[in-house]
Structure 1
């Protein structure tokens, strides 16, 4: 099976030791537009069997160090628009893991304590899920919680990247 693995930044890259899989890593850049563009280009060039998003996230409900595999996505930037044809929530099919969480995606690094839907909060997953849904590709996102929204800062995220790589590596080695 050929899998494109999307990472937002090089500091999130980990080895994905999946048996019988050809892994194609892609650094998408931060944010929904960068993620959608970079992933679309990779999918068109590589023609994978599925896409895996791997990275870090914040949370309001869980603990630093928790890992979530998700196939349910919310776009917090679009969720308050009540316009026909606007998709702000979607589910993806997946071939790997046992999805058990919801990702809330938006184009900002959330630092205030406004209550948001979902288990984890990121800046890319919804856009990548939408690309895969439109291209009929299985998609799952695996996120390591690096920070508690409203209690930590961008600096806290940067300080936790090493822990995130170790935690994500343990997750994939246990699969």
Structure 2
């Protein structure tokens, strides 16, 4: 996949963010990873509390996700995000648009890895088992608030998702089987990939 990922290009103090310890599996322990917990609220609180005391050179979100487009075992780079459970169309707003905010439904922020497929991450507080829309092609529960906070704080952001399931009726069983593989894949990837600005 090209040259090694040289984190020093962007920082000398990376913050690796995971939702669950099982996604990190002590593969990034030397970086003192931040485990925020499941869902948008936990992700926002966890990262905000950390940033209150520290300012990393880059925020790197690694985690599991579902997808009806990408295959299980693929790593997808996301720098476009949708809050998939935001729906205030009844008041005249667009689907996924946060009312009275200064940005549209699609949040665009982050770095890309050229050798990896690029995806649009739909973040919401539900475990998706009937993914039918084409508005986003990666489904998770934490990335949107992490990307939003990183953008607001003007901190470089990288989001990589390991696809564990098809966001379909077998997603629960597939996630349970695949999630433990994510950390090793990420660890290997960081030895071979090249990061380029979006």
What TM-score, normalized to structure 2?
Answer: 0.77
Matched with 1:91 is 108
- Partner residue in 2 for 1:130: 148
Q: Work out whether residues 72 and 103 of structure 1, in 8 Å CA contact, stay in contact via their aligned partners in 2.
A: yes
Q: How much is the aligned-residue C-alpha RMSD, in angstroms?
A: 2.2
Distance 1:113 1:78 in 2: 16
Give yes or no for the alignment of 1:10 onto 2:21.
yes
1:32-84 deviation line (CA, Å, top 9, x unaligned)? 00000001111222211110000000001110011012211111012554133
Higher strand share: 1
How many equivalent pairs are there? 170
Q: Give the alignment of 1:107-122 within 5 angstroms.
A: 107-122=125-140
Q: Which runs of 5+ in 2 are unaligned?
A: 1-11, 94-98, 194-198
1:172 corresponds in structure 2 to 190
CA distance in structure 1 between the partners assigned to 2:67 and 2:177 by the alignment: 16
2:7 corresponds in structure 1 to none
* Structure 1 range deviating more: 70-79 or 163-172: 163-172
Contact kept in structure 2, 1:78 and 1:86, CA below 8 Å: no
Unpaired runs of at least 5, structure 1:
none
Mapping of residues 147-158 of structure 1, within 5 Å? 147-158=165-176
Question: Take 2:88 and 2:173, find their aligned partners in 1: how far apart are those partners?
Answer: 29
Whether contact under 8 Å (1:2, 1:24) holds in the other structure is no
SS of the residue 2:113 aligns to: coil
**When the two structures are superposed, what TM-score results if normalisation uses the length of structure 1?**
0.86
From the CA coordinates, give the structure whose radius of gyration is larger: 2
Q: Any conservation in 2 of the 1:16–1:172 contact (CA below 8 Å)?
A: no
Tell me, in whole angstroms, the C-alpha distance in 1 between the residues paired with 2:150 and 2:134.
24
